[in-house]
Structure 1
Amino acid sequence: MYPLISVLIPVYEVEEYLDRCVQSVLAQTYENFEIVMVDDGSKDRSAEIASRYAEEHENIHLIRSEHAGVSHARNVLLENAKGEYVFFLDSDDNMNPRTLEVLYNLLKEKNADIVQCEMKKMWKTQVLNTSSYIEVYKNDIVERFCCWQSGLLRCMLSAKLYKKTMFCNVHFPEGKTHEDEATMHRILENAHCVACTSKAFYQYYYNPNSITKRKFSDDRYDILDAMEDRLLLCLERNLDFAADMTRLHMLLLVIELYRRTVNEVGTGAEALIWLNKRSCTLIDGLLTTNYFNSKICTLFTVWKANPMQGELPNFKVISTDCWNKRGDIS
């Protein structure tokens, strides 16, 4: 008998997509699964649709909640999951019928704690990759992840099959967004082996009403709290290089948020004061290292004077350059 997998679906006002989502789970070739849904106070027909499935299928469970956000929903889902393994599926997405089977077999084959497949963007024409490859990480998982040197491994909670024990001492930050960024480093810290396949079994749908697609608001700043916790973990584990790269990542996010605040809120926004202070503090720390070339250091100096000036470089490009030459520096 194959072990139970809990497919966890947070639901909030997705009446257009929920049938497709649930049907994709019911079509799985892996037979021993349950579906747990939390309706986060939807005002459309989402709760009605979810309730119908729960009434028709013994292995589908619905929990109703007052609207408290997706992080709260994910915490409730984990608390109610009975499976040895868990898989997060967003309610406007769906997955290939072989997803759970392939990921479980890969997990057992590689003796992994977490396995991930790629995402297929549903609004683009893509062919499922039949000549796939697999990456396995056993050492320096958190350091590689924080420095974006982990290949296929992504930050998203979805498209991964986890041993449920990976969520020991992990709590999604309720009342905040960017719960993926806030927790993935903590989840990976619990893993001894992570395997990724390049096959795109998870089908991601562009929902213009999702949290990340909405008009700029204060919850955009939650990403910085997530990165602060990532930095804290690096410092706790004496991952000094990863800590510096996390500071760099934070700086680029702060500069981007500063510019978006100016452009979408206005030059009088109160957030600009603390964003500027945070950028200056990060820059002062980064300039004490010797990882960055003169062009990047000059850009840091420019930002101290005016965060609106200069290009916004790609974090992965800079981090990769630093990663490749850090042996020579040390």
Structure 2
Amino acid sequence: MSEARISVLLPVRDAEATLSACLRSIARQSEPRFECVIVDDGSRDASAEIAADFARRDPRFRVLREARRGLIAALQRGASDCRAPLVARMDADDCMDHRRLECQRDALEDATLSAVGCHPRLFPRSALGPGMRAYEQWLIGIDSPRRVREEAFVECPIAHPTLMIRRAVLEALPYREVDWPEDYDLLLRLLEARHRVGVVAAPLLAWRHHPGRLSSNHPRYAQDRFTACKAEFLARGFLARRDSYLLWGYGGTGRSLARALSRHAKRPQAIVEVHPRRLGREIQGAPVISPAQLGAPPRAPLLVSVAGAGPRSEIRATLLRMGWREGLDYVCAA
């Protein structure tokens, strides 16, 4: 077998119902020069046997048997065993398009990129509610390193099972035990370290949506943990030099973010609102002002914390006309 160009990092726990389809999708890749590092995290079903059978028939697949230590420990163990220069994440309940590894490898021929994602297509379609469909559409709208950076504090702009990253970068910024989603934590650390993260704008992953996913059940993936993660990175990044900021929006999204930032001693000096009955009032000691009262920068850094891609687009257009620069003068953090 020729030397692997890509290591597929695949943690597995109790995935017997979906693992075979996942492994078949990896085996049929148009880029055959890969290894698949399967980390069985103490499965109590037939997952380990399914993986071992695949490895016996195809030497590109290797199985590491671990105690039931959890996802992050499995990722750390598997990453340490990856030998190729590129590492592609995969989940055991998803399936790759046959071109995924080839397309992402080609994208990383651009030496300025440290990692790339791709677009997912959620399935089964009948199980998708309006929220998940909107999330899928939002992800599909992210198609460049600029868009990844602009949307990074809205939600995680890369579906983690689509990530391909240079192994040297992952070794420098390894998975770590945190109180919020490990994939979002990695993405924000990549951007914090000024790495460029791109996107292959094609649906190269079939991303299974079901209520049993870890992201649907583990406390680490609750909405308040995402907000805590955003606040941590905003406090030590965009807001590092200021204890006060301007906050556009004080609905549920804005209130949650303000609470999380207060734990880092960051508080709004003014709140921007369009609701006429709020204008001129004070909220938590901060005056409520209209967008027109913002004026031109420089002023305090501005956080736009408004749910919904449509309203955020309108606010971005308004700020552009007023001379505010995204990423420098303001950040969207929904």
Give TM-score, length-normalised by structure 2. Answer: 0.69
Alignment of 1:293 with 2:273, yes or no, is yes
Give the drift of 1:71. 1.5
Q: Tell me which of 307, 318, 322 is aligned to 1:314.
A: 307
- Partner in structure 2 of residue 172 of structure 1: 175
CA contact (8 A) 2:180 2:220 kept: no
Alignment of 1:204 with 2:207, yes or no, is yes
Q: Tell me which of 226, 248, 259 is aligned to 1:278.
A: 259
Structure 1 residues 172 and 316, CA gap change in structure 2 (3 angstroms): farther
**C-alpha separation in 1, matches of 2:103 and 2:22:** 19
Give the drift of 1:18. 0.3
Q: Name the SS for the 1:188 alignment partner.
A: helix
**C-alpha separation in 1, matches of 2:85 and 2:38:** 17
Give the drift of 1:213. 2.3
- Partner in structure 2 of residue 60 of structure 1: 61
User: What amino acid is the match of 1:328?
Assistant: G
Structure 1 residues 69 and 244, CA gap change in structure 2 (3 angstroms): farther
**C-alpha separation in 2, matches of 1:7 and 1:115:** 14
CA contact (8 A) 1:231 1:247 kept: no
**C-alpha separation in 2, matches of 1:61 and 1:287:** 52
Give the drift of 1:16. 0.2
- Partner in structure 2 of residue 262 of structure 1: none
Give TM-score, length-normalised by structure 1. Answer: 0.70
- Partner in structure 2 of residue 146 of structure 1: 152
Instruction: Determine what percentage of the aligned residue pairs are the same residue.
Output: 19
Give the drift of 1:24. 0.5
**C-alpha separation in 1, matches of 2:187 and 2:277:** 30
Structure 1 residues 54 and 320, CA gap change in structure 2 (3 angstroms): same
Q: Tell me which of 318, 322, 328 is aligned to 2:323.
A: 328
Give the drift of 1:105. 1.6
- Partner in structure 1 of residue 117 of structure 2: 116
| Bigger strand share | 2
Give the drift of 1:21. 0.5
5+ residue gaps, structure 2, are 127-139, 286-304, 330-334
CA deviations on 1:85-118 (whole Å, 9 max, x unpaired) are: 0100111001111111112122225753222210
**C-alpha separation in 2, matches of 1:134 and 1:74:** 26
| Bigger helix share | 1
User: What amino acid is the match of 1:17?
Assistant: T
Aligned-residue RMSD, C-alpha:
4.3
Structure 1 residues 280 and 184, CA gap change in structure 2 (3 angstroms): closer
Alignment of 1:80 with 2:61, yes or no, is no
- Counterparts of residues 1-330 of structure 1 (less than 5 Å): 4-108=5-109, 112-124=113-125, 135-137=143-145, 142=149, 144-148=150-154, 154-174=157-177, 176=179, 178-190=181-193, 192-214=195-217, 217=219, 220=222, 221-235=224-238, 252=253, 255=256, 278=259, 281=262, 285=266, 287-289=268-270, 292-295=272-275, 298=278, 313-314=306-307, 316=309, 320=313, 323-324=316-317, 325=319, 328=323
5+ residue gaps, structure 1, are 126-131, 257-276, 305-311
Select between 160-169 and 204-213 the one with higher mean Cα deviation: 160-169
CA contact (8 A) 2:227 2:256 kept: no
Q: Name the SS for the 1:77 alignment partner.
A: helix
Give the drift of 1:84. 0.1
Structure 1 residues 172 and 181, CA gap change in structure 2 (3 angstroms): same
- Partner in structure 2 of residue 263 of structure 1: none
